[in-house]
Structure 1
Amino acid sequence: PHTTLSQEHREHSLESVMDHFTYCVDLVGIDHVTFGPDTMFGDHVGVHKTYAGNYAQNRDAAPDHPNVAYVDGLENPAENFTNIVGWLVKHGYGDDDISKVIGGNTLRVLDHVW
């Protein structure tokens, strides 16, 4: 929950996560982006704190932010994809592109690799 800030959204939220998504889509294209929410039921903040040293090489470059217990809008893994899909629909993404980023791209790559 402490790696989702953006310049436009300085609090941990679905919006700040989706800023990262749109950056990636603009950078490499919709066919090469997928969601894999790595949040879990339980103390995912505790896991983050345990592994925090692995997340950023340059702590001085990271924006200052408050510690939070969850990412607003993605606090429950059972609701992550529902909220993500809702955001995508609201922002004009079509069914084909939504299918790609919520699993289709992952399945395509796995099929190719395996």
Structure 2
Amino acid sequence: MKIFVPKESRAGEIRVALVPDVISKLTRAGFEVAIESGAGVGAGAGDKDFVGAGASVVGANEVSASLAGADVVLSVQPLTVAQFKSVKKGAITISFLSPTSAVENIDAAASAGATAFSLELV
């Protein structure tokens, strides 16, 4: 199973959806984890930390392909509408989704054929 973590796109968001300690557990369990370069900088984790934990680091030019190849996409803030367009049908996204105030996020997930888990509602 492939997991992808994009860099957060919302201004001021410094969190990252997966930290190196969790990535090492996931990769040991057989998951393939990829993370966008620079995704952990605001949270104090550099690309080398993620590579050391077993993740592959992808550049900005590889994000669309990584979204299209992922079975699970993890982010803190909702994916952008443009990012949802790259998510493959049947993929699972887990993030805050703002379902009551940002209907476009729900529409984008539905249009992509993705299953979206909204952390506000868990």
Same fold per superposition (TM over 0.5): no
| Higher share in helix | 1
Which protein is bigger by CA-based radius of gyration?
Answer: 1
TM-score, structure 1 length as denominator?
0.29
| Higher share in strand | 2
